[in-house]
Structure 1
Amino acid sequence: MASSEIAVYEHESRRALGTLLALLAILLVGIVLSLAVGRYYIPVRDIGKAFLGGEVSDKIAQVLFVVRLPRVLAAVLIGGAMSLSGAAYQGMFKNPLVSPDILGSSAGAGFGAAVGILLSFSVAGVKTSSFVCGILAVSLTWFISQRFGKGSDNLFLLILGGIIVSNLFQSLISLVKYAADPTDKLPAITFWLMGSLSKATMQDVKIMLVPFAVCTGILIFCSGQLNILALGDEEAKTLGVNTVLLQGFVIVTATVLTAFSVSFCGMIGWVGLVVPHLARMMIGPNFKYLIPASALLGSSYLLIMDGFCRSVFAVEIPLGIVTSLAGLPFFLYLLTRQNKGW
């Protein structure tokens, strides 16, 4: 490698690291503001006193540690998870318009939750049912692509299988809603499907933390191979990348992240589509930096959206509605850039 190329690489690396540090700082500021802002304002100095063991009122402690902290941490984890899934899928499919629900995981998880609510499962039972059905939906998509495809690397049939499975589970969700009691179960199912972090608990955060950390580590480990995959499947195979194994790792990891996210907060759209593309515009296409940048930016994005939902109006707006309304204009912008490459 020529000295000029080394200098360019080092400059790009320093710029990317600087961007990551800036995104981390933005996230930390966002966490503090999210803890402070709400219908009951908590001064930043009281937040600092509470975390450092100082004396604060019981009301502040209750609002801070029981209501807001679990919700803020859940927003950080779920926003990061959805964005990581989107970045991984966009890299695997080599298309910036791909989102985490392309293989049917969101629709499957939504169906599982709807069935759990219809059958009066416990809160944990609804989340478990949602997660399991999300995994089953992607497994069905994979089976369809293998059964009717010419090879396991046929991404086109994988997408078609995802469309089939997504529509299947969306139809099943409609069937469950039709059968639900309109005075009790139907409103609960509808509200859950619109997405919300209002019922997040510290137990939820602890459960989500392990798969989030493991899946993030796997995607960072695969970042070099995702960079090579961007050159094309044939070139990647020539350079020694097992594309089938890589696709399997990405699909399993992204599915676990998506299914966990949907099972805990409902169907929140557009995060996994919009945020990875924003991160790519800020930091470039190198997955070594794009993966952590997507996670940090996704966490900040969902914090902002959730803060808007619970603070602007007298009645809390479902999170999925706000993320969809915010994502639509950016999607139109993506369409205008599609012919210019990504």
Structure 2
Amino acid sequence: MTKRNHSLTKRYATITSILLGIAIIFAILASLCIGAYPLSFSRAAYIVGHLFLPGSLPQETLEQIKELTVVQVVRLPRVLVATLAGMGLGMSGAALQGIMRNPLVGPDLVGVTSGAAFGGVLAMMFDYSPYGIVAMAFIFGLTAMVLTFGLAKLAHNSGNGMALILAGVFVGAFFIALVGLIQFVVTDAKLPGIVYWLLGSFIGADAQKVMMIGIPTLAGGAILMMLRWRINLLSLGDIDAASLGISVSKLRWGVIALVSLIVAAQVSVVGIIGWVGLVVPHLARMLVGPDHRRLLPASALIGGLFVLGLDDFTRTIVQAEVPVGILTALVGTPIVCFLFWKTQTKGWSE
């Protein structure tokens, strides 16, 4: 690639990232307008502006008070939770694919989602606090990742290739079996809530849930952004990265811990939302290229748009509270099958 072409590619990726940022802001405001109580775009933007900027929102009529309540209490927390969940999953998938140099790796396929789900339902069974649920989901999500890597190493594989995916499938199946065991022994009063939670839904989102998913996602995501050039080096291979002064083992496990934290926060708040972390990075890679300095932000933005769009779809087109985890599986599975065919028949090229 010539210097001119490289400059044009970089400029195109930068413009694309800016447009994605504008798109997600527009999507958030548009999502506040739709529902059983419709609002105009300008009114939604006006309310949000006054909520986040100093100064009180003037409330002159009963209609305006209703609009404020709908946005502040009902829609804004749900929209923020959906956006943050998608951003965290998209960014986590891109980071995992980078450090493992495998395009078919995602939080679902390496067992971290299943491990986090087990930690979450175990905490629910013992009536832990919401933050205790996040902690348990993180512990078992990280445990699942350790087990996956351990099984892959037994196959003389350092964390790449089909051995890693198969190990993740085995570990995921084990934790899903443990989830089923808890569903079998839990009381009848708790079972419906656990089952619906596992399907992945944004119903009941409130300010506390925004904080529970927002703090780990934004903090962990910020650290991943600071590490993205190191992830670029690691994606070249362990030997090349080590020769450039990168502590390969520390970096890989550091990224794994951050991904486990982000996924644990998402799972503990809204349940299992599958395939986002696997599909979204591929879409981002097609738009901005493989450079993680641009790939991670783009994956976060596309993930937020993807999950928020599906949640809006359930609230408007379907007009039923279909768990978004079901929709992501229905949409993501055909895409994953295509990606698997592509990697197996044509190979993968970064």
Q: Structure 1 length as normaliser, TM-score?
A: 0.89
Structure 2 equivalent of residue 172 of structure 1: 178
Instruction: Note if 1:298 corresponds to 2:313.
Output: no
Query: 1:134 and 1:228 mapped to 2: Cα distance?
Result: 26
CA contact (8 A) 1:79 1:300 kept: yes
Q: Structure 1 residues 187, 206: closer, same or farther in 2, change over 3 A?
A: closer
> What does residue range 314-325 of structure 1 map to in structure 2 within 5 Å?
314-325=319-330
Structure 2 equivalent of residue 16 of structure 1: 13
Deviates more, 1:250-259 or 1:309-318: 309-318
1:210-260 CA deviation, whole Å, 9 max, x = no partner?
A: 322332222222222222233332233333332222211221111111111
Structure 2 equivalent of residue 264 of structure 1: 269
Q: 1:41 aligns with which of 38, 44, 55?
A: 38
> What does residue range 121-140 of structure 1 map to in structure 2 within 5 Å?
121-140=128-147
Structure 2 equivalent of residue 255 of structure 1: 260
Query: 1:116 and 1:246 mapped to 2: Cα distance?
Result: 30
Compute the displacement of 1:28 (Å): 1.1
Query: 1:169 and 1:75 mapped to 2: Cα distance?
Result: 25
1:169-212 CA deviation, whole Å, 9 max, x = no partner?
A: 11111111122344x32221110100011122122222333322
Which structure 1 residue ranges, 5 or more long, are not aligned?
Answer: none
Structure 1 equivalent of residue 192 of structure 2: 187
1:53-106 CA deviation, whole Å, 9 max, x = no partner?
A: 343622211111011101111111111100111001111121211111333221
Compute the displacement of 1:145 (Å): 6.1
> What does residue range 29-178 of structure 1 map to in structure 2 within 5 Å?
29-51=26-48, 52=50, 53-55=57-59, 57-141=64-148, 148=154, 153-155=158-160, 161-178=167-184
Q: Structure 1 residues 96, 213: closer, same or farther in 2, change over 3 A?
A: same
Compute the displacement of 1:124 (Å): 4.7
Query: 2:138 and 2:249 mapped to 1: Cα distance?
Result: 25
For 1:118, the aligned partner's letter is M
Deviates more, 1:228-237 or 1:120-129: 120-129
CA contact (8 A) 2:13 2:294 kept: yes
CA contact (8 A) 1:117 1:188 kept: no
CA contact (8 A) 2:101 2:160 kept: no
Q: Structure 1 residues 199, 123: closer, same or farther in 2, change over 3 A?
A: farther
Structure 1 equivalent of residue 226 of structure 2: 221
Over the aligned positions, Cα root-mean-square deviation in angstroms equals 2.4
Compute the displacement of 1:140 (Å): 4.3
Deviates more, 1:85-94 or 1:306-315: 306-315
For 1:91, the aligned partner's letter is G
1:297-321 CA deviation, whole Å, 9 max, x = no partner?
A: 1111111011112223343001100
For 1:6, the aligned partner's letter is K
Q: 1:289 aligns with which of 274, 289, 294?
A: 294
Instruction: Note if 1:211 corresponds to 2:210.
Output: no
Q: Structure 1 residues 144, 104: closer, same or farther in 2, change over 3 A?
A: same
Which structure 2 residue ranges, 5 or more long, are not aligned?
Answer: 51-56
For 1:48, the aligned partner's letter is A
Q: Structure 1 residues 120, 93: closer, same or farther in 2, change over 3 A?
A: same
Between the two proteins, what is the percent identity of the paired residues?
35
Deviates more, 1:157-166 or 1:171-180: 157-166
CA contact (8 A) 2:199 2:272 kept: yes
For 1:93, the aligned partner's letter is M
Query: 2:92 and 2:194 mapped to 1: Cα distance?
Result: 25
For 1:325, the aligned partner's letter is L
CA contact (8 A) 2:117 2:271 kept: yes
- Residues paired across the two proteins, number: 336
Query: 1:332 and 1:141 mapped to 2: Cα distance?
Result: 22
For 1:45, the aligned partner's letter is S
CA contact (8 A) 1:70 1:202 kept: yes
Structure 1 equivalent of residue 53 of structure 2: none
